[in-house]
Amino acid sequence: MGEQKMPAAMGLSHVAIRTRDILESVRFYTEVLGLREAFRMHREDGSLATVYMYFGPGQYLELFSGGTREGLEGQDVIGFCHICVMTKDIHRSYEAVKAAGGPVDREIQRGKSQCWMFWTHDPDGTQIEVMEMPPESLQAQADARLGAGT
């Protein structure tokens, strides 16, 4: 038998949603659906940019602030933004996507949450973030902190 290739994606990490009112969305996901808030990230001006909601180890809902219903030029619309798949080895996943002829929209980079990521897209243009969450990442820290209670 031939050597098995490591898949570029090993699980779903998060779905990202752009919100009209991020605090109202956080209230909905915590009070109505019962999720727990994992962590927040802020813009350079101090305003709230992103809130991660915790489903379980490595599984999140990522809420972005700043959505608009109109979707005017230069503004993001409310709703679905992208999916993120997880990997244990960002470099191997990157090479696997390239070797399979997949597009690379953004090269490997370190995110604000200290994760490693690169971006691709499917044939319909759905944006896909491929992410490795090392121990120092906010995601891995949230998993350690919140995972004990799941």
Domain ranges for the chain: 12-149
Assigned token pair, 124: 């319909």
12-149 under CATH 3.10.180.10, yes or no = yes
Averaged in consecutive runs of 10 residues, what is the pLDDT profile of the chain (150 residues)? 68 90 94 93 94 93 80 68 93 93 95 96 90 95 80
Is 0.75 surpassed by the pTM of this model? yes
